[in-house]
Structure formats: structure tokens, C-alpha cells
């Protein structure tokens, strides 16, 4: 889901750059031609940005959990009784 949203955002940004480059020379922020094209780009990108704002924290949580898991030492195996000694459980 996040990967798809990121791919779409990349595609939409590339399309916006191409659209912006094809605008008339006098189209700049504040003109109808520029603002309408930018509004369309934002409208198309909004749902994908919403996906990231809703689910993107999962990546940070996974990263944090994996860092904590790798920082903890693994428990050492139980020690075997010394040779010739009986285990207290065996009498």
C-alpha cells in the first residue's frame, strides 16, 4: 500500500514537472493557468499523501522495534550440571 502510494506520488510529481514546463511563459504562481494546473496535481496527489499520513508511522514503529530487538543480548543457554553431579530434580 505505501509502496504503491509512493510510486504514484513519484509519477504525479514527474507529470507535474512536465505540465509546469509546458505552461505558457507568462504562467506563474498566482495566474489561473498555473494555479489550476497545480490544483489538479494536488488533488490527484492528496489520497496518496493521506495513505502515508495514515499508515506511514508503521515503518517508524517497525524500525524502532527492530533496533530495540537487535540491541538486546540474546539469553544465554542454561548451564549443564558439572560432570559427576546430579541435577537437584533427579533424586
pLDDT digits (tens, 9 = 90+) for 22-47: 999 999 999 999 999 999 999 999 99
pLDDT at 90 over 60: no
Residue 75 pLDDT > 90: no
State pTM to two decimals: 0.64
Q: Is 89 helix (H, G, I), strand (E, B) or coil?
A: coil
Q: Which three cell numbers stand for residue 29?
A: 504562481
Is 51 within 8 Å of 19 (Cβ atoms)? no
DSSP secondary structure letter of residue 72: S
Amino acid at each position: 500500500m505505501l509502496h504503491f502510494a509512493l510510486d504514484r506520488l513519484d509519477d504525479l510529481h514527474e507529470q507535474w514537472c512536465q505540465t509546469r514546463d509546458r505552461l505558457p511563459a507568462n504562467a506563474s504562481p498566482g495566474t489561473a493557468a498555473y494555479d489550476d494546473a497545480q490544483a489538479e496535481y494536488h488533488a490527484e496527489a492528496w489520497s496518496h499523501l493521506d495513505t502515508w499520513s495514515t499508515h506511514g508511522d508503521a515503518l517508524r514503529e517497525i524500525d524502532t522495534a527492530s533496533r530495540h530487538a537487535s540491541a538486546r543480548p540474546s539469553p544465554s543457554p542454561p548451564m549443564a550440571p558439572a560432570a559427576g553431579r546430579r541435577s537437584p530434580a533427579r533424586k
